[in-house]
Structure 1
Amino acid sequence: MAVIFDFTHLLEDPIFLGSFGLAIVGWIVALAGQCASNLSLRAFGVNGPFAWFIIFFNLAVIVGTLAVVSSNKTSQQRPALMAFFAACFVLDSQAVTWFIHLDSSYQAAGAGYIFLSIVFIVWIIVLGSDNQQRTKAAAYSSTGVIIGNNVTPTMIPLSQATQSSVSQNQVVVSPNAEYAYKARALYDYAASPEDPNELNFNKDDVLDIADNKGKWWQARRADGVIGIVPSNYVCKRKN
């Protein structure tokens, strides 16, 4: 199966986008700091070959992560990415301990490894918290159930919670509508059996969009089936 690189996946995630920039800056600073001095690493009790292994291992992980995110394979590769991020964080922390106490030219390398350590700990937190599920949770409305002295939230799917608002907004599916936009599905969506107007779709499906106002849009799937879709489950772009 061919791997499709689409950097819009990276642009849609501001945390990964910003952290990739910091990772590149940190790696360049670390590399420059190691190259800047003519002094031997071993003269300071540092294992020279291992230090160079760390810098290029970081590069491999950064490039590999960029490839995974841009090909939208983050969920499938989550365990491997978490393992590589943890390894880089440990190695970079060790490198910081080495370089921060050495000659001033090596302290720049220490600063670079500090940046890299921050990036990898951020990626561990973000990937470990399952960003997609957190985003999808925002598409649910919450009610409270009181148990003892605690309030336990219960989740109601958006399609059910906004059923009355859809009727009030009078979203009518028109078979003769003009579709001026396209949208890519951000998540899978299962239509409510209580509303025949809702449209099923899968993540990364491309939908034609006619009505792009309000919380529900009129859409058409590639197979020609039309219906309404929740606007926060798709990303719109003009034809």
Structure 2
Amino acid sequence: MCDIGWLITFIATCAIGASFHLVWVEIFYNLFILLGATLAVATQAVHNYRLVILTFIGGSLTLLFQCIDATINIKNAKFSAAGSGLIFQSLVLIFWVFFFGAEEESLVKRTMNDFTIPRIPGAAGNGVSNGVAHGAVSSDQHHNNGQDLNSVVVAPAADYAYKARALYSYEANPEDSNELSFVKGEVLDIVDNKGKWWQARKQDGTVGIAPSNYLQLI
């Protein structure tokens, strides 16, 4: 969530001085958005605050365009640097409009989610999830001295202490037998609520790992 454009604008505006009031307003306004959006993503509460974040982003873009117009017309290296940072910020915020505003079923959001939580064959074996018990191991893994991470499976007999509702539908990666498919609204039993991947159990007894940003604890 780090915005390089914001940092460039801040440094350039410090060099310009306190006289450029409009850009200073934008700097602190956008800092508020950066912190709020980062906190929402970190606490997996985007679904609760997406409309609020989008509203603030809309206001920020309006202010950004005014600041860009005010800086690029001044033939000065400091103002040009500030303008470049503002343009970069606007591109980041436009990206965020799609990130926070697109529906999960859309191609744009599915592509973004693939970058946020990449599909990794044998994710449990690679330590992607703190909530997956590294239980049974096939004989092939013993033969390979523990190097065949894809043979690591979840533990069906684990203690499922939590329940979570699926916010969106998820299609398991066919290359990873550990992943679990589910549909929007489905209730899953969860072993642990830490990490990006959680060990989950469906109502029919099927177990596997699921991406945590698709689930909400209940």
CA contact (8 A) 1:185 1:234 kept: no
Return the offset for 1:114.
Answer: 0.8
Structure 2 unmatched ranges of 5 or more: 111-154, 170-180, 193-198, 213-218
Distance 1:177 1:79 in 2: 38
Return the offset for 1:184.
Answer: 9.5
1:86 paired to 2:62: no
Return the offset for 1:50.
Answer: 2.7
Aligned match for 2:25, one of 53, 61, 78: 53
Count of aligned residue pairs for this structure pair: 147
Q: What is aligned with 1:106?
A: 79
Distance 1:220 1:116 in 2: 42
Aligned match for 1:207, one of 191, 195, 199: 191
Return the offset for 1:55.
Answer: 0.8
Return the offset for 1:91.
Answer: 0.9
Structure 1 unmatched ranges of 5 or more: 1-19, 42-47, 139-175, 191-197, 209-217
CA contact (8 A) 1:34 1:109 kept: yes
Q: What is aligned with 2:124?
A: none
Determine which structure has more spread, i.e. the larger CA radius of gyration.
1
Distance 1:123 1:70 in 2: 15
Task: Give the letter for the 1:111 counterpart.
Answer: S
CA contact (8 A) 1:27 1:112 kept: yes
Task: Give the letter for the 1:29 counterpart.
Answer: I
Distance 2:81 2:31 in 1: 17
Return the offset for 1:88.
Answer: 0.9
Identity of aligned residues (%): 25
TM-score for both structures, normalised by structure 2 = 0.54
TM-score for both structures, normalised by structure 1 = 0.49
Return the offset for 1:122.
Answer: 0.9
Return the offset for 1:206.
Answer: 2.0
Task: Give the letter for the 1:228 counterpart.
Answer: T
Distance 2:168 2:84 in 1: 45
Change (3 A) 1:63 1:177: closer
- Structure number with the higher strand fraction is 1
